[in-house]
Amino acid sequence: MPEQSRLVVKKLTPTIGAEISGADLTQPLESAVVREIEEILFDNQVVFFRNQPMTLEQQIRFGKYFGDLYIHPAAGKTTTPIGEGRPKPYASALEDHPEVIKIYADEKSVQAAGEEWHSDVMSEDKPPMGSILRIDELPSVGGDTLFASMYAAYEALSEPMKRFLEPFTAVQDGMKTYGVKSAFDNSRQYPRSEHPIVRTHPVTGRQSLFLSSAFTTRIVQLSPSESDALLKFLFDHVKNSLFQCRFRWEKDSVAFWDNRCTLHQAQWDYFPHRRVGYRVQIIGDKPFYRSGQ
């Protein structure tokens, strides 16, 4: 077996997260190594790599091993410059590489990307399958990211609650994150879709919860008051620390997570210090629910 395929896996928790060593992501990878990384991702939902000083081109190449790359609908779209009543945008697509999002926060920021629990762009009709983030610059302390297993969140529910949720769909509205609450241009139209609350993973067949306070606005089949009450319960439920792992970044660390079965939250506990990273995302599939898995 080639040396680059000798991967070592160290789990962060029994539920979610693993660090992978033995792969050099700055170099082309053999197909067997790519498939092995993919299998480790499916088993652990989010995987991490250390000491990967990738160029943008190398990060793009790594992302393309897993599918076509996604172009974000909102990043960097602002209408009012800094100093004229609008905050600095915290994410922007690179001009030469529109599939790459630069994510940053510094002393001029009034918010940071991903402060609220979410799955990336879950308001799309086909949300990104996965996201790959490399941190290039970080504060001396702080700036960790939390990841939560939505498999575990679903499995922790009682059997009657699982059955109760099965027929429900929810509206996922991009305006909730990219418009009203953010530095992005709120005159634009952002993705808005209706997806099952319980989602079946297309590869593993496992069921997970698919909703977040960042995007989910209402449950279609319920009255407004019923929807609000159930969503409040579920938003609180998915934040249970038993479902989580925490990743402490170092320069040139890389995280690769499966958006179909995880939520994540960036910790903005380092203000006014600076944190900079680059992210690519892989085009995904339309969420569905299939019983009997």
Residues forming the active site: 118, 120, 264, 279
Please name the residue that has the structure tokens 């879709």. Answer: 193
Q: Where are the alpha helices (H) located in the chain, listed in sequence order?
A: 31-44, 56-64, 150-155, 159-165, 175-178, 224-237
Tell me which DSSP letter residue 198 carries.
Answer: E
Per-residue b/e over 39-74, b at no fewer than 16 CB within 10 Å? ebbbebbbbbbeebebebebbbbbbebbeebbebbb
Contact 103/278 with Cβ under 8 angstroms?
A: yes
Contact 221/119 with Cβ under 8 angstroms?
A: no
Contact 88/82 with Cβ under 8 angstroms?
A: yes
179: left (phi over 0), alpha (psi -120 to 50) or beta: alpha
CA distance 142 to 293: 40
Q: How far is CA 284 from CA 43, 127, 192, 212, in A?
A: 18, 5, 16, 18
Residue 69's DSSP bridge partners are 282
Please name the residue that has the structure tokens 């660390």. Answer: 253
Burial of residue 225 (number of CB atoms within 10 Å: 0-12, 13-18, 19+): exposed
CA distance 133 to 199: 24
